[in-house]
């Protein structure tokens, strides 16, 4: 299995802050990396695919970068609706694996 490690596991930030979340794969996955947002009681929602491509309808304040083993999700200016948990996911292998999640909380 490809292990995905996210950091931090949680962070506190204010509206308007720039926030970055990192994800590291246990082996190179090229850019087969997706980012999801999950709110309590809801299914995850795909934000970014192929490491940096924005899913249709997702605000441009979300961006992704990276390749190989190290990836970053950045929210340029945090809005109230962005407080949620974020997961990375590799789809390099048929066996999809996810990071442990980063909870973004209001400071």
Partner 1 sequence: QVQLQESGPGLVKSSQTLSLTCTVSSGSISSGSVSSGTYYWSWIRQPAGKGLEWIGRIDKSGSTNYNPSLRSRVTISLDSSKNQFSLKLSSVTAADTAVYYCGRHFYDRSGYLTNDYWGQGTLVTVSS
Question: Applying CB under 8 A, which residues contact partner 1?
Answer: 1, 32, 34, 42-46, 49-50, 53, 55, 87, 89, 91, 94-101
- Note the residue count of the chain: 107
Between 40 and 80, name the residue whose CB sits nearer to partner 1: 40
Whole-number minimum distance, CB 102 to partner 1, in Å? 11
Between 2 and 17, name the residue whose CB sits nearer to partner 1: 2
Q: How far apart are CA 12 and CA 1, in angstroms?
A: 31
DSSP 53-72: EEPTT--TTEEEEEETTEEE
């Amino acid at each position: 299995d490809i292990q995905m490690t996210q950091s931090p596991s949680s962070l506190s930030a204010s509206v308007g802050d720039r926030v970055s979340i990192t994800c590291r794969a246990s082996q190179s996955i090229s850019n087969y990396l997706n980012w999801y947002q999950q709110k309590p009681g809801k299914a995850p929602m795909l934000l970014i695919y192929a490491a940096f491509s924005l899913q249709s309808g997702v605000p441009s304040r979300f961006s992704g970068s990276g390749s190989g083993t190290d990836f970053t999700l950045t929210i340029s200016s945090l809005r109230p609706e962005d407080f949620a948990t974020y997961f990375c996911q590799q789809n390099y292998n048929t066996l999809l694996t996810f990071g442990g999640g980063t909870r973004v909380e209001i400071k």
